[in-house]
Structure 1
Amino acid sequence: MMTEQGVKWACDYCTFENWPSAVKCTMCRAQKPSGPIITEEPYKSSPTLEPGPEWDPSRTEGSSSLLICPDSSARPRVRPVTTAETSSKWSCQICTYLNWPRAIRCTQCLCQRQRTHRSTESPQTSGSNGGCRLAPSSPVDPCEEYNDRNRLNTHTQHWTCSACTYQNWPKTKKCVVCDHPKPNNLEAIELAESENPSSITSIVNEQDRARWRGGCSGDQGQRRSPPTSKRESDVKMDFQRIELAAGAMSSREDQEVDFKKMKQIKNRMRKTDWLFLNACAGVVEGDLTAVEAYKSSGGDIARQLNADEVRLLNRPSAFDDSFTLVHLAIRFQRQDMLAILLTEVSQQAAKCIPAMACPELTEQIRREIAASLHQRKGDFACYFLTDLVTFTLPADIEDLPPAVQEKLFDEILDRDVQKELEEESPVINWSLELGTRLDSRLYALWNRTAGDCLLDSVLQATWGIYDKDSVLRKTLHDSLHDCSHWFYSRWKEWESWYSQSFGLHFSLREEQWQEDWAFILSLASQPGASLEQTHIFVLAHILRRPIIVYGVKYYKSFRGETLGYTRFQGVYLPLLWEQSFCWKSPIALGYTRGHFSALVAMENDGYDNRGAGANLNTDDDVTVTFLPLVDSERKLLHIHFLSAQEMGNEEQQERLLREWLDCCVTEGGVLAAMQKSSRRRNHPLVTQMVEKWLDGYRQIRPCASLSDGEEDEEEEDE
């Protein structure tokens, strides 16, 4: 029976003898050949292919000591090593390793073997060319050259584990044997110096390998002469090692300085600093959650990147010194993030809205909203709210001192939205008649920017709270899903008419319409996802009342360049309900740069002289706010999602508005819708929440009055 020692297999790349159970070469990690299998007779004492004491060269050819499989034609035959081959090994000029004559590269350092010169050339000629002196050898086998080339590619792609010396593939971050992390060049050099200072040249370093290859395969005029003796070769080898060590030391010193600098920077970093860097990376990669995490932690949106932070991010093409999140959003064209960031920059004052004043009442209101949601029976199974609630600012605000009023408005209003809707593009409060004489000035409430601004603004305009638990979003998704056929037909007809009215003249296949509709459905189910006009149309049905959106007409870049139409401004009517099932009192929303805000009015007393002579039949407790149905150019606002039968000229659309809204025409000729709200008819929980919020400002009133009195006394003394 043949023992394990008699069935070793020789590697094609480094000729190392491996045990039969090994599937890879122990020396160079090459794959075990699937072709010829070389075996030895059991009586042979030496398990290797090198000449031994019992090995007889006369029995090499034609004897049965080597058995080669019939399919060995696929690769070169492995034959026993002769004494002539052993004596004719060539010495590498870099590492002095003795290589087999058939090897074209050094097995140790992969340096390319110098070409042999013809026998007719004299030694002086050979030495003048600068080539390495090589012993006479047989011609290079092309198969062996192919194997050497494969060994070069295989050897340079592995990295050696510093703990267990296992050779791993370059993509692995940890050693597959001991899970030791992959060392970088600096760690590899330090490890080699600590173990053996003279083994620097054996480190698998691409820079050193490039230096070695350059010394071997450069111009012949730059080649070094081969060593003439062992002592001389040792001296030259030590000199080369000193050069390599000096180069490694210089690069190592630079790396050590960089490493220490980066370590110092990281040690100084705080949690807020890391959140800021993550937010910067989030703007570049389009991750809104990282920006929201930085904002929720109280981070400054106007913070600038410094040189150390840019160095730590290690991406010069994206990050520059003194850049802010706004600059990054502009560079990478993140329009949605830019709208959020520009809104947040000016919010220096701490916000305090009625929903934050009393969390217990806010939770009760959320439960009340969830309880008032019902689903209509029948074909059109849409959800709806049973209560009619309209949020207005209390009239008691005017009784506060001017300084307290200014503080209150700073904390509840969004000054940027108010300014953009009033001044930059006059959308609200453009009529002096409505804003002054009729006391119908609209105020933009501050709103969150977490992606649910539309749903939050709807609940703010009605109940004065946010959609924190996503109750309204879930209701929106369920209504769209259960009444998909009804809303889909309206949406498809409206989109087709809109594209033709703007001269686009395109038509989609039914599959494309279905894909777009599926995308709209998916947006409704994703918390934080931006919503579209269709969702406002569905919300009008859930509220059972019209929604008027006063918004900018064009998308604009940071430089003020017009990018396109917003398509949000207009009137959204619950057209799929019966008119008798709906209320005619609308709510108002504002839209600026991808952000929605609730537009509310302030309570006022006395309505005898309002309505331009119209009989309003209102009580003293009822507040009426006049919402214009025309823009500043006196053009009628668009009515969204009309069918082909409902579309027509302005007179037909005005008639439709009068059917769904309580409309009147002022003395100045402005068509307006009347929003009616009452303290007695309003929900008691909302009234308690507003009163408790207002009490916080009433408590600081004596302090303000006292300070004013002291100033007056000081002026009298002077």
Structure 2
Amino acid sequence: MTEHGIKWACEYCTYENWPSAIKCTMCRAQRPSGAIITEEPFKSSAPSVGTIERSGGSPLICPDSSARPRVKTSLSMENSKWSCHMCTYLNWPRAIRCTQCLSQRRTRSPTESPQSSGSGLRYVPSPVDPCEEYNDRNKLNIKGQHWTCSACTYENGAKAKKCVVCDHPSPNNIDSIELADTDEASSIINEQDRARWRSGCSSSISQRRSPPMSKRDSEMDFQRIELAGAVGSKDELELDLKKLKQIKNRMRKTDWLFLNACVGVVEGDLSAVEAYKTSGGDIARQLSADEVRLLNRPSAFDVGYTLVHLSIRFQRQDMLAILLTEVSQHAAKCIPAMVCPELTEQIRREIAASMHQRKGDFACYFLTDLVTFTLPADIEDLPPSVQEKLFDEVLDRDVQKELEEESPIINWSLELGTRLDSRLYALWNRTAGDCLLDSVLQATWGIYDKDSVLRKALHDSLHDCSHWFYSRWKEWESWYSQSFGLHFSLREEQWQEDWAFILSLASQPGASLEQTHIFVLAHILRRPIIVYGVKYYKSFRGETLGYTRFQGVYLPLLWEQSFCWKSPIALGYTRGHFSALVAMENDGYDNRGAGANLNTDDDVTVTFLPLVDSERKLLHIHFLSAQELGNEDQQEKLLREWLDCCVTEGGVLVAMQKSSRRRNHPLVTQMVEKWLDGYRQIRPCSALSDGEEDEEDEDE
């Protein structure tokens, strides 16, 4: 049936609607009682309802209410449209305000020329994409200063404080950043038109990019936090967005630091975790349901998770060190490498010059010098108060306490610690992903791996000798899993993927390293590495979080024994952090009843490192082949072949670590002496007070 009669004109957009229309097809405004009407003649062969006749006779289906209607207009009305000075939208002549942005109509400029059109009737072009519709309007903007919205790229007028389309604040009005309120109808455009634009463009516009913070807090960088976006129907969308707005309005600076630290753990950003901890944030804080909803990453975040749980889940050993190892803040740390920067740089160059690559099939890198760092015996000559200050600044008291008191891992034998002067001290180390490499160089040369010389040698050795190390690693991991009752077998592709991950860790500065890397470092040093470490990951409450596998002996099994040294180094492992364990010079005590003829001179220090734990069980030897695996007697025999071993009078199997001042590198000796001179010049308060009392006595 064809609709005949008189059309009525909308009082807002002047669109001419059919007589039966209750609302305006263009702007959905209610039909007024006294609407302006115009006559429209129709032919007897007019198209059916819902269609408009083209000039060629073929019907054109009218779009539904969700798209902009295509109407036929007369030549005189189309030529007299006026362009909005704010959004450049072309409005009908009778419109007093702009249909798009509700701006007041201005008087037509004398230089403004009407649009030209051809003869006859034509239809307004139909936009294919709502986003392109706005872009086309932007192209018509030929005069005046405008600013481009950073959220939707729409060009707004110079006086507009917010984007006409998405309500995003202008750059000059950045202080007024706030979430859009749906009740403020006067500050937004037609909601249906904007909803159509949003549905056609990216859904990310509905997500606010910045949390509602003050101007001071808004300077902080939380852009990596992916806030949740609502999905579902329109009502559910508005309800979910309103809920998210309420959650974000309650967020404080500490809350955003915590969420940023959570994202930092997932993405491996150490600075975000350090920023939260240094701000006084609670390490035991758990993710709430609202925070998990706000982060919108269910694959990474769960309700009740702490930063420690996330670090373990994503294997962030370096972050565990920061979260779980409380470094003493009573004294500023001062190690020899910090006091002598010039000597430290010379030592680094010396290390780089002594690094060589072996020729042949096993092209592994190795160091040509045997250097072992020890604390000077002159420390005992300092006054007790100065000694205490020195130990506070050079040692990690928390690591020392954990390895000695919380778990009897080091210095558990009175015979070794007292009578044989083999007490081990945990040097303070940086809490970073390079702590393993730093501790290795601290135990040998007394410096950090600042220039990544050791990491580069580790990476190149793993790649150049990948076949050799891969075979050992695969065989060891297979045996290890079966020994714990994990009866599973991996496909070769899975083994290759795991091995590729180990290779990638070696090439990334700051990445936490694993047991395989310690095994390779033993080959680079050409000497055994003994790791005394905790068996379990524990939280600050003492809860067991996971099992560690670092403690044990790492031998350079792929070298010939004649090419290696038998003097080992010792490292400590505490909850994701490595520390160098060093001894103090003992002035060459030789006949100390170790059950062996040491044949040492007065300038050689011998430190006895236990090869058993406090329960007298033999330490594990890592990365043994099937032929080398066996009972403890066979493993003890292997240890005696690679280390200088002996049994003390108390029945403790130990390895001898030998160091000599004359054989040690002169640069290291010079660095230690210069560092110690700073403490020799300190006059203790007790001595000062005693001197003052003596002067008073003389005066009397």
Which TM-score band applies after superposition, normalised by the shorter structure?
0.5 to 0.7
Partners of 1:715 and 1:163 in 2: CA distance = 95
Given residue 151 of structure 1, which amino acid in structure 2 is its aligned partner? R
The one-character-per-residue Cα deviations of 1:46-94 (angstroms, maximum 9, x if unpaired) are: xxxxxxxxxxxxxxxxxxxxxxxxxxxxxx9xx9xx9x75x431657xx
CA contact (8 A) 2:261 2:273 kept: no
Is 1:106 the counterpart of 2:24 in the alignment?
yes
Q: 1:626 aligns with which of 608, 626, 631?
A: 608
Q: 1:89 aligns with which of 5, 8, 14?
A: 8
Instruction: Describe the shift of the 1:206–1:546 C-alpha distance in structure 2 as closer, same or farther (beyond 3 A).
Output: same
CA contact (8 A) 2:258 2:281 kept: no
Given residue 101 of structure 1, which amino acid in structure 2 is its aligned partner? W
Partners of 2:562 and 2:219 in 1: CA distance = 68
Instruction: Describe the shift of the 1:345–1:616 C-alpha distance in structure 2 as closer, same or farther (beyond 3 A).
Output: closer
Q: Secondary structure at the match of 2:655?
A: strand
Partners of 1:679 and 1:110 in 2: CA distance = 93
CA shift at 1:292, angstroms? 3.2
How many residues are matched? 548
Q: 2:50 aligns with which of 141, 145, 153?
A: 141
Partners of 2:694 and 2:37 in 1: CA distance = 108
Given residue 150 of structure 1, which amino acid in structure 2 is its aligned partner? A
Give the aligned CA root-mean-square deviation in angstroms: 4.7
Q: Secondary structure at the match of 2:366?
A: strand
Name the residue aligned to 2:475: 493
CA shift at 1:98, angstroms? 5.1
Instruction: Describe the shift of the 1:330–1:416 C-alpha distance in structure 2 as closer, same or farther (beyond 3 A).
Output: same
CA shift at 1:267, angstroms? 8.4
Q: 1:301 aligns with which of 278, 301, 323?
A: 278
Given residue 7 of structure 2, which amino acid in structure 1 is its aligned partner? S
Name the residue aligned to 2:176: none
The one-character-per-residue Cα deviations of 1:75-128 (angstroms, maximum 9, x if unpaired) are: x9xx9xx9x75x431657xx58554117675255334779xxxxxxxxxxxx9x
CA contact (8 A) 1:157 1:170 kept: no
TM-score by length of 2: 0.68
How do 1:52-451 and structure 2 match up within 5 A? 87-89=6-8, 91=10, 95=12, 97=14, 99-101=16-18, 105-107=23-25, 109-111=27-29, 141=50, 146-151=63-68, 172-175=151-154, 182=163, 185=167, 203-204=188-189, 206=191, 262-263=214-215, 281-286=260-265, 291-292=270-271, 301=278, 303-304=280-281, 329-330=307-308, 332=310, 336=317, 337-344=319-326, 346-451=328-433
Instruction: Describe the shift of the 1:541–1:187 C-alpha distance in structure 2 as closer, same or farther (beyond 3 A).
Output: closer
Partners of 2:413 and 2:494 in 1: CA distance = 44
Instruction: Describe the shift of the 1:673–1:717 C-alpha distance in structure 2 as closer, same or farther (beyond 3 A).
Output: farther
Name the residue aligned to 2:99: none
CA contact (8 A) 1:414 1:446 kept: yes
CA shift at 1:318, angstroms? 7.0
Q: Secondary structure at the match of 2:325?
A: helix
Given residue 636 of structure 1, which amino acid in structure 2 is its aligned partner? L
Partners of 2:23 and 2:592 in 1: CA distance = 100
CA shift at 1:450, angstroms? 2.0
The one-character-per-residue Cα deviations of 1:274-312 (angstroms, maximum 9, x if unpaired) are: 9996686143342677543785x9x9725249xxxx9xx
Gaps of 5+ in 2: 41-46, 52-59, 70-126, 174-183, 196-210, 222-251, 297-303
Instruction: Describe the shift of the 1:200–1:555 C-alpha distance in structure 2 as closer, same or farther (beyond 3 A).
Output: closer
CA shift at 1:141, angstroms? 2.1
Instruction: Describe the shift of the 1:679–1:647 C-alpha distance in structure 2 as closer, same or farther (beyond 3 A).
Output: same
Partners of 1:157 and 1:332 in 2: CA distance = 43
CA shift at 1:349, angstroms? 2.3
Instruction: Describe the shift of the 1:264–1:660 C-alpha distance in structure 2 as closer, same or farther (beyond 3 A).
Output: closer
Partners of 2:539 and 2:461 in 1: CA distance = 35
The one-character-per-residue Cα deviations of 1:363-416 (angstroms, maximum 9, x if unpaired) are: 000000011111111221111111100000001111111111111111111111
Partners of 1:421 and 1:169 in 2: CA distance = 61
CA contact (8 A) 1:679 1:687 kept: yes
CA shift at 1:461, angstroms? 0.2
CA shift at 1:486, angstroms? 1.1
Q: Secondary structure at the match of 1:529?
A: coil
CA contact (8 A) 1:90 1:98 kept: yes
The one-character-per-residue Cα deviations of 1:493-536 (angstroms, maximum 9, x if unpaired) are: 11111111111011111222122112111111111111111111
CA shift at 1:186, angstroms? 8.1
Is 1:459 the counterpart of 2:441 in the alignment?
yes
The one-character-per-residue Cα deviations of 1:434-463 (angstroms, maximum 9, x if unpaired) are: 111111111111111221111110000000
Larger Rg belongs to: 1
Gaps of 5+ in 1: 1-75, 115-126, 192-198, 211-257, 320-325
CA shift at 1:624, angstroms? 0.6
Higher helix share: 1
Name the residue aligned to 2:450: 468
CA contact (8 A) 2:645 2:654 kept: yes
Q: Secondary structure at the match of 1:262?
A: coil
Instruction: Describe the shift of the 1:601–1:417 C-alpha distance in structure 2 as closer, same or farther (beyond 3 A).
Output: same
Instruction: Describe the shift of the 1:484–1:403 C-alpha distance in structure 2 as closer, same or farther (beyond 3 A).
Output: same
Partners of 1:406 and 1:390 in 2: CA distance = 24
Instruction: Describe the shift of the 1:161–1:173 C-alpha distance in structure 2 as closer, same or farther (beyond 3 A).
Output: farther
Given residue 28 of structure 2, which amino acid in structure 1 is its aligned partner? L
How do 1:670-709 and structure 2 match up within 5 A? 670-701=652-683, 705-709=687-691
Name the residue aligned to 1:221: none
Q: 1:641 aligns with which of 618, 623, 627?
A: 623
Partners of 2:139 and 2:424 in 1: CA distance = 74
Instruction: Describe the shift of the 1:294–1:644 C-alpha distance in structure 2 as closer, same or farther (beyond 3 A).
Output: closer
CA contact (8 A) 1:97 1:108 kept: no
Instruction: Describe the shift of the 1:262–1:665 C-alpha distance in structure 2 as closer, same or farther (beyond 3 A).
Output: same
Name the residue aligned to 1:551: 533
